[in-house]
Structure 1
Amino acid sequence: MPTRFLLTLPLWMAFLACAAAAPRSEYKAPRAEYKIVTASKTGTYIQIGRDLAALVAEPAGIGLEVLESKGSAENVQRMRFEPGVKLALVQSDVYQAFLDEAKAGNTDADNIIRPLRLIMPLYDEEIYFIARADSPLNSIHEIKNKVIAVGPLGSGTALTSRTLYQLMFGEALSSANTQYLTNEEALAKLTVDKSIDVAIIVAGQPAKLFSDMKAEARNYIKILRLDDAAPETARAKKTYFPAAIRATSYATWLKSDVPTLTVKAYLVTYDYGLQSTVGNLGRFAESLCTNFDNLQANGHPKWKQVRLELPALGQGWRYYAPMEKRMRACIARRSAVAASAAAQAALPPPRACTEQEVVLGICRR
């Protein structure tokens, strides 16, 4: 046997002995680093994303980077194809539009939407129809044939705007009357050069874009109202739901509540099968459930409108099974604890001891 081998053999044996003796608990899996796509920096989605990062992902041992985007339509694409993006915020009408396109035979839409899954429904996003303060327009159904800013290409706002217009007026919004602008660009075009008549913005209230405005804002813009008596409103309600933009959300410049329409927001992921990803997203789901009260107490005000539940879904919509299982189990535990607390609270107070029972030692005060 070579001398060199005889000299190194004891060293290898010592190394293997140490490795075998090392406690397994010393090994720690690397922290998962994921991304979530939201919307513009002045919208509500990005604040919801930050809440999920700080109050849900962090307690679960997951780093979650919050990314800006043009909105829901782009989010669907990035959720499907961009490396590292594991979560997305998506409007219900955008998700349904992809499903409808896939059902109609569009292979690109089918390739994009088929492997996506829902985590849970979130809240309703208000749809703002903004006009100049001196505009003759007062109601939403009066926007026909007006020049309208509908949000950037690839945004959920753009799809919502076009879908609503088609529903209300039975015809598509013409390209000549359509401008694809960011929220900030739209407000500038509306109030400065006055090249558009209406800006449509989708954002959950209170939205930073509007809450940062000063009292003087009412001198430049106004929010068009939903008129329940208009036949266009009845047609819009087939897909969208009535709500109100509250004056308390924008107390510095809005004097009274404004009736409008809403669209539902969803938290979306992909149908992952890799064991490590399944495990990480399972922990995220558990954390979302257990920290839900913290989200409602310390997150964006919209969290107070979210219900911790997984309702039945329409055709083509599916929950991500590993997260659904963890969520349903956690929701059931929370319900059992709440029911037990309620039952305990309903019990009659204990009967007071009589003096004779105390003397006899059969009842203690």
Structure 2
Amino acid sequence: MFKIILAGCVGLVLASSAALADNAHYKIVTGPERGTYIQIGADLAKWVAPQAGIDLEVMPSKGSAENVQRMRFEPGVKLALVQSDVYQAYVDMANSGNADAGTTIRPLRLIMPLYDEEIYFVVRADSPLKTINEIKNQNMSVGLIGSGTAQSATTLYRLMFGTPVPDQYAQHLSNEDALAALIVKKIDVAVIVAGQPARLFTDMNPELLQQIRVLRLDPAAPETARAKQTYFPATIRVSSYPNWLKQDVPTLTVKAFLVTYDYNLRGTVGNLNRFADSLCTNFDNLQEHGHPKWKQVKMELPNLGKGWKYYPPVEKRLRACFAHKTAVAATNGPGPATTDDPAKSPKRPCTDEERLLLLCGGKQ
């Protein structure tokens, strides 16, 4: 009898091990370890991937531009979180004739839009600056090269003031280093992109937190009108940071997207289809148990701009599922598939924008 029971236990262990071995092992590239992206990735790994038969490894990164590069070229990376302005910058550069940008972005596909990320213009509490349009020619951290923050900060500056951030005023620091440099007066402004509530601020030492504040968006400023050509008004809420803010702060925002590649291998397509089904099935769990930003995500696939394409197999599954759950059918067709081709290093001097998008090979 003991042998029969033992044999049965061994059989269960072997069956369980075989089931685990059958799981696909995928990676998702996210963002800094105290940012919002990495928490969104962890939510997908916990609530969505297991039901799809996927072991999803959540990988930290500098941010969106690095994520695009790793999504395109790093083995095992099947999913990425990318800011809309970074994705658009690649599309624009590809359309302008940059071969490396085209090689990088054209095979990438969107799974779905997620939520808006707030843009924080942080200054010291005793700073004379009050509004975002006053940051011209201030010593500032615009984010690490390869981060979405760097793209947003430099794009916003160019839109507002009609000129790039002057080299003598720009530093490329991580979020944590930027806040530290701000407090010790090495810089005057730290630009940070993060969905609220961001752990960067909620986990910060309360005494240090009281030494910094966020600049407000002035709706009447001409610089604001120019910034709104690409970005949208948003509010950083007291409820997100009750130990820091005394009132809501108007600011700007950028959209986050879940991105994949135009895969056509049967196994990968099947895994991503199951991921899409699980994403739809577990959407309520994400909104209830995941990061608060999930509450802003809508079950819809809006029409896309030129050069932006959904991943066709997943798009079909999500549209059917969303239509079933919301009784509203969306209409947007996928673009033609593209083929892979090797990247080539630019043979001319590297521009500042190419450098931010990591399109310059070793030249940083």
TM-score normalised per structure 2:
0.84
Deviations 1:334-363 (A, max 9, x none): 1349xxxxxxxxxxxxxxxxxxxxxxxxxx
Aligned counterpart in structure 2 of residue 225 of structure 1, from 210, 216, 227: 216
Amino acid across the alignment from 2:214 = I
Does 2:292 correspond to 1:294?
no
Deviations 1:163-220 (A, max 9, x none): 000000001101111000000100111102x111100000000000011235434531
Structure label with greater radius of gyration: 1
Unpaired runs of 5+ residues, structure 2, are: 1-17, 329-364
Q: 1:166 to 1:27 in 2, by over 3 A?
A: closer
Provide the alpha-carbon RMSD of the alignment: 1.4
Percentage identity across aligned positions? 69
**Alpha-carbon contact 1:150-1:178 (below 8 Å) kept:** yes
Q: What is residue 40 of structure 1 aligned with on the other side?
A: 32
Supply the distance in 2 between the matched residues of 1:297 and 1:307 (Cα, whole angstroms): 14
Q: What is residue 283 of structure 1 aligned with on the other side?
A: 274
1:130-145 correspondence to structure 2 within 5 Å:
130-145=122-137
Secondary structure of 2:133's partner? helix
Aligned counterpart in structure 1 of residue 199 of structure 2, from 208, 217, 240: 208
Deviations 1:93-115 (A, max 9, x none): 00000000000000000000000
Q: 1:145 to 1:281 in 2, by over 3 A?
A: same
Question: Which stretch shows the higher mean deviation, 205-214 or 107-116?
Answer: 205-214
1:70-85 correspondence to structure 2 within 5 Å:
70-85=62-77
Supply the distance in 2 between the matched residues of 1:27 and 1:176 (Cα, whole angstroms): 57
Amino acid across the alignment from 1:186 = A
Does 2:242 correspond to 1:251?
yes
Does 2:42 correspond to 1:50?
yes
Q: What is residue 12 of structure 1 aligned with on the other side?
A: none
**Alpha-carbon contact 1:79-1:86 (below 8 Å) kept:** yes
Does 2:117 correspond to 1:125?
yes
Supply the distance in 1 between the matched residues of 2:238 and 2:266 (Cα, whole angstroms): 48
**Alpha-carbon contact 1:153-1:180 (below 8 Å) kept:** yes
Supply the distance in 2 between the matched residues of 1:282 and 1:334 (Cα, whole angstroms): 17
**Alpha-carbon contact 1:216-1:253 (below 8 Å) kept:** no
Does 2:154 correspond to 1:166?
no
Aligned counterpart in structure 1 of residue 306 of structure 2, from 281, 301, 315: 315
Secondary structure of 2:51's partner? coil
Supply the distance in 2 between the matched residues of 1:324 and 1:305 (Cα, whole angstroms): 20
Q: 1:27 to 1:254 in 2, by over 3 A?
A: closer
Does 2:252 correspond to 1:266?
no
Supply the distance in 2 between the matched residues of 1:27 and 1:206 (Cα, whole angstroms): 37
Unpaired runs of 5+ residues, structure 1, are: 1-25, 338-365
Q: What is residue 110 of structure 1 aligned with on the other side?
A: 102
Deviations 1:230-276 (A, max 9, x none): 10000000100001000110111211100000000000000001000
Secondary structure of 1:294's partner? helix
Supply the distance in 2 between the matched residues of 1:221 and 1:61 (Cα, whole angstroms): 45
Supply the distance in 2 between the matched residues of 1:137 and 1:255 (Cα, whole angstroms): 18
Supply the distance in 1 between the matched residues of 2:302 and 2:199 (Cα, whole angstroms): 30
Aligned counterpart in structure 1 of residue 226 of structure 2, from 222, 235, 240: 235
Q: Highest relative contact order (Cα 8 Å, sep 6+), 1 or 2?
A: 2
Aligned counterpart in structure 2 of residue 66 of structure 1, from 54, 58, 67: 58
**How many corresponding residue pairs?**
311
Deviations 1:41-82 (A, max 9, x none): 110000000000000001211100000000000000000000
Q: What is residue 335 of structure 2 aligned with on the other side?
A: none
TM-fit CA distance, 1:314: 0.6
Supply the distance in 2 between the matched residues of 1:43 and 1:114 (Cα, whole angstroms): 27
TM-fit CA distance, 1:290: 0.7
Supply the distance in 2 between the matched residues of 1:121 and 1:159 (Cα, whole angstroms): 19
